[in-house]
Each structure stands twice: as C-alpha cells, then as structure tokens.
C-alpha cells in the first residue's frame, strides 16, 4: 500500500503492511539543522559543505527534502503557514554558518549580525527597527523568546489585545493552502499534515507572539500562567472569541482543501511536566476542554480529518480528557516522563488514540546511548505501540543537535528492518 493508505489504516487502528514513519511533517516531529546536515552527509545525499535550509528558525529545524523522505521511507509530509515563527517568509535564502560551523541557508529576514556579546537577535518580520523578539545565546542552538510585556492594567484589560494574531483567514492565505496542499496531494502519495495555526488554546510558545512588532495584552509567560488562575474569566473570554474565529476559518479551509488533508495539528499546548500534569484536571476540563471539543467536534462532523494534540511531559492523568475532547492522535508520547509507561499507555488507551511518537527517547537514549541500545529500544517500542495499529513512528519530539549520526542511522535502520507486520 502507499504511504497515504498506510497512515490512514494506522489512524483507524488497523494493522497494515508496516508501521508508518514521520519525520518533519510538523514543528514537533522534525530535526535540528545540524543533525539534518550530518544525516544527509552520512547517507551520501550531498557533497560535503552543501548547506541545509533552516525552515523553522525558532528551533532551527532543518528542511526534510524529498530525497531524504525517500531514503528513509517517510510516510507523512506537512504544510505549515507561509510565514515563520518570527513573521517573515521562508524566501530570499542566503548563506549563514551556525555557531558550531554547520553550513546553512536562512531566509532574508534571519539576522546574521552578532551583537557585541556574541548573541544573535531576531526581529519580528525581520524589521530591525522593531524591538527584538528572539535571542540565541552565543554558541547556542535555539532562540529564546524575548518577553515584551507592557504594564498590565487589570481595570482596562481588553480581550482583543490577546486576539491580534487570531484573525479571519484571508483569500490570499486560502490560495496558499489550496496550492500547497494540492501540490503535495498530487505530486506525492504521502499523508498530509496541515498546521493551519490559530487553533491551539494557550500554547505557551505562542503567547509572547514573536512575530508581532508590538504585542499587547498578556504576553509574559509567567504572567499568562498566573492569569489562568487569577484572571480566569479574561482567559476564558480570549479562548471563547478565538474559538469562534477558528471555527469560521476551519470551515473555509475545508472548502478549500477538502479531503486532501489527513491530519490537522490542532494543539501544541503543553500540559505536562517531567513529573506530572502542569495543570489540574479541573482546570483542564473547565478552561481548555470545552473549546478543544468544539473544534474537534466540528472537524469530525464535517471532515474526514484526524486531529492531533502535542503535549510534552507526564500527561497520563489527562489522556482520558484529551480523548473526551475529541483528539485522535497524541504526540510526542514522552515515555521518559513519570508514569508514561509504554505498555500501560497502549493497554489503557491504544484503542482510542493513535500514539504518534514515543519511538525513541530523545532525552537520554538517542543522544547518549550506543547504537545497540537505540536498536533495542526502537524494537521494543515498535512491538508495544504497533500492536493492532494506532501507531506512527517518530522520536519523542524533535531530534536535537549534537546527536551522534551513527545513533540516528541506527534508529532508522531498525525502523526499516522491524516495522513490518
């Protein structure tokens, strides 16, 4: 069967010829540009020194080109918004060398001039006349959002200030989605994941709004979390209005791309820490679930799309609520967190949710283990999660920089050899 059919059967909890594989279809299933470069060199896809594009500058994720997709047997491709996390488009490519010496290509909006202290600043829409919204420390690997929180006047908080980025979708944007989704649907046999944006409620990575020149409202990470308790009514109103906009946008998007999309990335809000849930079940059920359920219900009533939630950490206690909210897919399945035991997750929830991730531990095993240890863990995860379908192989979140390339190769070689039913 082809990739699209393979993924669809996995999502329907049916066994297929082999377990499908994802790499790079979303901002949480990709690979740092340094690791992409090393992998391409090891596979002989490029001459030495050939640069790799940074397609997601916040995390410095590398482009997963079609030749790498074919070489690894990847089954999923993604379509993301035309602008980056910092608000400029992936265009006007220019050469740049990362701190550790990897040759890359970056968009023209990517600031390549180090500050006097050696840090790299990033500016919203690439506009250096605006206050910087991101900082990469000298010799760092990623950008940190710069908090640009205006003074909060509780007596005059305006819900619209936290909705600036949640606008009705334009005809230009619809044209982009029509072209890109249609191109991948007709030019490949891959399942398509769409990252439409504007659908996640309270995704903390998005709260600072690094793409806005002068964000208003509550934009400080700590202040936002505090506000879910002390300004709960305000946050609820933000979510309520955001939900209305998202429903209208989803309807237009479905009219535009139809059944060509397989999976929609609905939420990237993290609800878990390393040891347990980040919020109480009461808070999740009262503040987040109602709006997530409204969007998921609309998708399931009007489309064949499957819905994807990304939440790092130990979320075992919340998985029943994720299922009630209507999510079909759970990612990244962080088995290195407390109480995220693969066998127990599969036994309790394997017939209700597809596990997209969990294939190898990216905190410990992949970066620090031996190739044999990686092979053993990958075989074990395939055996546990793959039973009866409901599993798409991916590492736990993005593959990071400085991972030994022999470990990355061991992972993909094992997937290729042992994922057949």
Q: pLDDT tens, position by position, for the chain (421 residues)? A: 999 999 999 999 999 999 999 999 999 999 999 999 999 999 999 999 999 999 999 999 999 999 999 999 999 999 999 999 999 999 999 999 889 899 999 999 998 788 999 999 999 999 999 999 999 999 999 999 999 999 999 999 999 999 999 999 999 999 999 999 999 999 999 999 999 999 999 999 999 999 999 999 999 999 999 999 999 999 999 999 999 999 999 999 999 999 999 999 999 999 999 999 999 999 999 999 999 999 999 999 999 999 999 999 999 999 999 999 999 999 999 999 999 999 999 999 999 999 999 999 999 999 999 999 999 999 999 999 999 999 999 999 999 999 999 999 999 999 999 999 9
Give the integer Cα–Cα distance in Å for 421 and 388.
Answer: 10
Q: Specify the pairing of strand 354-356 against strand 391-392.
A: parallel
359 contact partners, CB below 8 Å, separation of at least 6: 378, 381, 382, 385, 393, 394, 395, 396, 411, 415
List the structure tokens of 281: 């079940």
DSSP string, 401-420: TT--HHHHHHHHHHHHHH-B
Extract the tokens encoding 14: 């049916």
Tokens 């896809």 label which residue? 45
Q: How far apart are CA 168 and CA 249, in angstroms?
A: 6
d(CA 378, CA 370): 12
How large is the angle between the packed helices 405-418 and 371-385, nearest 10 degrees?
Answer: 40
What is the spatial distance between Cα 348 and Cα 330, in angstroms, rounded to a whole number?
Answer: 13
Which structural domains are found in the chain, ordered by start?
Answer: 3-31+71-82+149-418 (3.20.20.210)
């Amino acid at each position: 069967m082809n990739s699209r059919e393979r993924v669809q059967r996995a999502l329907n909890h049916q066994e297929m010829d082999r377990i499908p594989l994802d790499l790079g279809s979303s901002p949480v299933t990709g690979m740092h540009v340094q690791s992409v470069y090393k992998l391409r060199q090891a596979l002989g896809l490029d001459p030495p020194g050939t640069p790799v594009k940074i397609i997601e500058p916040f995390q410095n994720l590398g482009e997963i080109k079609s030749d790498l997709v074919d070489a690894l047997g990847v089954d999923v491709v993604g379509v993301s918004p035309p602008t980056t996390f910092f608000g400029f488009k992936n265009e006007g490519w220019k050469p740049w060398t990362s701190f550790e010496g990897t040759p890359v290509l970056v968009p023209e909006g990517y600031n390549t001039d180090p500050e006097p202290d050696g840090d790299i600043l990033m500016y919203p829409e690439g506009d250096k006349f605006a206050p910087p919204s991101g900082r990469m420390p000298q010799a760092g690997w990623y950008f940190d959002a710069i908090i640009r929180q205006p003074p909060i006047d509780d007596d005059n908080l305006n819900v619209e200030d936290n909705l600036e980025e949640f606008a009705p979708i334009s005809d230009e944007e619809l044209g982009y989605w029509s072209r890109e989704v249609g191109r991948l649907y007709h030019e490949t046999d891959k399942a398509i994941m769409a990252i439409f944006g504007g659908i996640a409620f309270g995704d903390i990575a998005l709260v600072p709004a690094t793409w806005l020149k002068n964000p208003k409202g509550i934009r400080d990470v700590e202040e936002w979390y505090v506000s879910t308790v002390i300004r709960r009514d305000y946050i609820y109103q933000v979510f309520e209005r955001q939900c209305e906009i998202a429903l209208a946008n989803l309807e237009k998007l479905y009219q535009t791309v139809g059944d060509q999309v397989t999976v929609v990335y609905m939420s990237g809000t993290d609800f878990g820490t390393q040891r347990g849930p980040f919020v109480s079940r009461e808070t999740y059920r009262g503040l987040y679930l109602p709006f997530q359920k409204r969007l998921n219900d609309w998708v399931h009533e009007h489309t064949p799309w499957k819905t994807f939630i990304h939440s790092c950490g130990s979320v075992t206690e919340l998985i029943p609520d994720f299922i009630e909210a209507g999510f079909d897919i759970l990612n990244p399945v962080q088995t290195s967190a407390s109480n995220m035991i693969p066998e127990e997750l599969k036994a309790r929830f394997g017939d209700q949710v597809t596990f997209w991730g969990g294939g190898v531990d990216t905190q410990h095993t992949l970066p620090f283990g031996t190739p044999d240890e990686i092979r053993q863990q990958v075989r074990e995860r395939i055996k546990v999660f793959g039973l009866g379908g409901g599993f798409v192989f991916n590492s736990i979140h993005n593959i990071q920089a400085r991972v030994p390339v022999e470990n990355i190769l061991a992972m993909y070689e094992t997937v290729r050899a042992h994922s057949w039913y």
